[in-house]
Amino acid sequence: MARHSFRGKKLFLISFLATQMIPVMVILVPLFISFSQMHLLNKLPSLIITYTAMNIPFCLLTMSSFFQRIPVSLEEAALIDGCNKFQTMIKIILPIMRPGIVATLVFAFTGAWNDLFFGVMFTNSESTKTVPVGLSSFVQKFDINWGQMSAAGILSLIPVVIMFAFAQKYIVSGLTEGAVKG
């Protein structure tokens, strides 16, 4: 998408951007009906499909901006040195893209991890509840045990904190890539 020009490319990218502006409430009923007909309600594949579909436009637009910053001359040099297109992608482009890939992955994961709405709508059994849905069950009770709720909240942060700790250098370089150097 970032390197090749084709007819309708701008319209395609604008339509991907426009999908990010559609309120979730608009797509909820059609998704619920579709998942009900496919017998996917109260099953994790319904959430996997939803989170993947919701994150594809964001990831595509974010990754394309990272990909546009890579000079075409690097690919041309690799091709001259004897690499084919696949080797160029694996040996040259992907290592350069690593900060962008990790930054995009972290933001997409965090968005899906923190989502409460689809988890509440598509799952209702204890075995398929997501972490935010489980945390919200503490609030729905009349007798709130604040200690348990705090402990559960801290435990739910552990995977995200661990991921951010391992990916911190990639996130920082991914977010600052392309900045003007003095």
Structural domain harbouring 34: 9-70+103-176
Q: Which residue has the tokens 């951010």?
A: 164
Give the mean model confidence (pLDDT) for residues 3-23.
Answer: 86
Of the listed ranges 4-8, 134-138, 174-178, the least confidently predicted one is: 174-178
Tens of pLDDT, residues 58-101: 888 888 888 888 888 888 898 999 999 899 989 888 888 888 88
Residue 36 belongs to some domain of the structure: yes
- pLDDT number for residue 1: 73
- pLDDT number for residue 176: 59
Q: What pTM was computed for the model? A: 0.78
CB atoms under 10 Å from CB of 47, counted, come to 20
Read off the amino acid at residue 124: N
Read off the amino acid at residue 109: F
- pLDDT number for residue 179: 45
Residue 115 belongs to some domain of the structure: yes
How far apart CA 63 and CA 72 sit, in angstroms, is: 16
Smallest Cα–Cα separation from 24: which of 117, 114, 111?
117
Residue 50 belongs to some domain of the structure: yes
- pLDDT number for residue 178: 47
The total of structural domains in the chain comes to 1
Burial class (CB within 10 angstroms; exposed 0-12, middle 13-18, buried 19+) of 118: buried
Residue 139 belongs to some domain of the structure: yes
Tens of pLDDT, residues 147-166: 888 888 899 999 989 988 88
How far apart CA 147 and CA 34 sit, in angstroms, is: 40
Burial class (CB within 10 angstroms; exposed 0-12, middle 13-18, buried 19+) of 83: middle
How far apart CA 157 and CA 49 sit, in angstroms, is: 23
For residue 49, the domain's CATH number is 1.10.3720.10
